[in-house]
Amino acid sequence: MTEPSPPLSVQGLFAAREAEAKRRHAEAEAAEAHRKAELQAFSERVQTYEITAEDRARAITRIRKAFEAGEREVMIVKFPSLLCEDGGRRINNHLSGWQDTLPGVFHKVYEWWEKELAPGGFTFSARIIDFPGGMPGDVGLFVGWPERLE
């Protein structure tokens, strides 16, 4: 036999709604705290990571595949614009010196391009690739090449 449910009351409905709102708020706070902790850990890795020979080989493989597929560029990596010293403002507005705002390993990616890929005719660019809530989101770093040899 099932237990009888308590009588329905407005006070009970308001209490249940408030309890549910508190539960959702606590979940949202926990999710935000988790997101911030992950971003902090990622930021620390960005500052200390060294590009390996395997990283370069993977990037070169991706460049070759994109070229063979008829593409004109390939996104090598993406990261949150919050990691840039200016939040991605220089990149978003195409201002000179944008490369100096790249954090840690992402600046090393630029230096790798400058040293090893630029002499071979490749281009390098960075741009904001999404705008969640109207604000700059992720930055994509792209290596490109001309459509044909001149």
Mean pLDDT of the chain: 93
Residue 59 reports pLDDT greater than 80 = yes
Which of 34-38, 100-104, 118-122, 138-142 has the least mean pLDDT?
A: 34-38
pLDDT of residue 36: 86
pLDDT of the residue at 76: 96
CB 12 within 8 A of CB 6: yes
Write down the residue that tokens 């971003």 correspond to. Answer: 39
- Measured CA to CA, the distance from residue 53 to residue 60 in angstroms comes to 11
Q: Which residue has the tokens 């099932």?
A: 2
| Residue 120: count of CB within 10 angstroms of its CB | 8
pTM for this structure?
0.78
* pLDDT tens-digit series, residues 84-132: 999 999 999 999 999 999 999 999 999 999 999 999 999 999 999 999 9
Determine the residue type at 45: R
Say whether pLDDT at 80 is over 90: yes
**N-term to C-term CA, the chain:** 86
Which tokens is 69 given?
């597929």
pLDDT at site 40:
87
The DSSP line for 26-64 is: HHHHHHHHHHHHHHHHHHHHHHH----HHHHHHHHHHHH
Beta strands in 6-122 (DSSP E): 73-80
| Confidence class for position 5, pLDDT limits 50, 70, 90 | confident
pLDDT at 19: 94
Q: In the structure encoding, which two tokens stand for residue 118, read together? A: 């630029």
Q: Which residues of 75-90 are buried (b: 16+ CB within 10 A; e: fewer)?
A: bbebbbbebbeeebeb
